Amino acid sequence: MNKDIFVVIEHRQERIADVSYELLTKGYQIAEKLGGEVIAVLLADDGDQMAQSLKSYADKVLYIKNEIFKNLHSEYYCDALSSIIGERKPALILFGHTVDSFEVAPALAEQLGIPIISNCVDFDIDGDFVRATVPLYGGKINGEYSFNAENGGIISVIPGAFKVENPQKSGEIEKIEFTFEKEYDDKEFIEFIEAAAGEIDITQAEKIVAIGRGVKDEENIDMIKDFADSIGAVLACSRPIVDAGWLPKERQVGSSGKTVKPKLYIALGISGAFQHISGIKSDTIIAVNKDPNAPIFKVAHYGIVDDMFKVIPALKAKIEEMK
């Protein structure tokens, strides 16, 4: 079996998808076992900056440059990847299981004549074999699949399956100006359409500042909104705030509101009723509450027991200072 792990980086509008970082992190666990390296494979046109931001996550960034890679075109992707992979023969090639890779990964496997398991939530190596866990029947049961990876293989993993950790590497960037022998004119990229910016969709927010009855008065909301803006967060709330008519229903988090999955959730003056917290799927919850016995502290990763009206200005000042 070969040793290196290739992670094919997914990006759109010059932004790298989270799943790519997740795969790089997982890649290290596997590479360690194999004694190999993790290599981020970036197919891009204007990719210098993206390559830079990948450096600390990989032993090497293989930046394959061509104008065509500005947008996803699966045929060109496959041709470039199969040529590079054919040359360098990594142990495994990892993709996010996303609409982008649906088009590329299986075709690539076919082109290279190597095995693939798609839609995985986990995988590991076991001698010459790769074993992967794949949810079936809408996640009701998991299937275990494996293939012989002597000649390499492809795994595509559902976003969110692994946590991201920065290994603090400083991988070199190898830039390859790629040229194509074959042209494909049956498919053409027309336009990138941004999702309509309508009412704020809190389910898509990366940072949320949520308020509860602790905010006391409608007048105090402006100040919290300022604080949220200052850290680029979206304002959300518990149900009583909607009941009072202080924020619209779209902002309600909970079992009868929205389920949110931000990276950071700051709960201000929220007691943490089950109906509220069952709508929070976040890696980092910070709670500010006067009452040390408030149930929110049972789910929070960090807690501040104090008056939110003292904490917010202090926090805001500190954040300004750090900017």
Ligand X SMILES: Cc1cc2nc3c(=O)[nH]c(=O)nc-3n(C[C@H](O)[C@H](O)[C@H](O)COP(=O)(O)OP(=O)(O)OC[C@H]3O[C@@H](n4cnc5c(N)ncnc54)[C@H](O)[C@@H]3O)c2cc1C
Give the Cα separation of 226 and 221 in Å (integer): 9
**Phi-psi category of residue 27: left, alpha or beta, with phi > 0 → left and psi -120 to 50 → alpha:** alpha
The answer to whether 121 touches 134, Cβ cutoff 8 Å, is yes
Tokens of 159: 């976003």
- Say if CB 319 and CB 226 are below 8 A apart: no
Q: Note whether 70 and 45 are within 8 A (CB).
A: yes
259 binds another protein (CB under 8 A): yes
- The per-residue DSSP string of 233-258 comes to -EEEE-HHHHHTTSS-GGGBBSTTSB
Residue 254 within binding range of ligand X, rule CB under 6 A: yes
Each residue 140-159 as x (binds another protein by CB under 8 A) or -, in order, gives x-------------------
CA-based torsion, 46, 48, 54, 60: positive or negative: positive
Question: Considering only 34-42, 60-68, 72-80, 138-146, which stretch makes contact with another protein by CB under 8 A?
Answer: 138-146
Q: Does 121 bind another protein (CB under 8 A)?
A: no
Secondary structure of residue 229 in the 3-state scheme? helix
Binding mask 204-233 for another protein (x = CB under 8 A): ---------x--------------------
Instruction: Establish if 273 lies at the interface with ligand X (CB under 6 A).
Output: yes
Question: Is residue 259 near ligand X by the rule CB under 6 A?
Answer: no
Would you count residue 52 as binding ligand X (CB under 6 A)? no
Residue span binding another protein (CB under 8 A) among the ranges 49-57, 62-70, 72-80, 137-145: 137-145
Q: 106, 135, 159, 240: which one contacts ligand X (CB under 6 A)?
A: 240
263 forms part of the interface with another protein (CB under 8 A): no
Q: Which residues bind ligand X (CB under 6 A)?
A: 212-214, 238-240, 252-257, 269-271, 273, 275-276, 279, 288-291, 294, 307-309
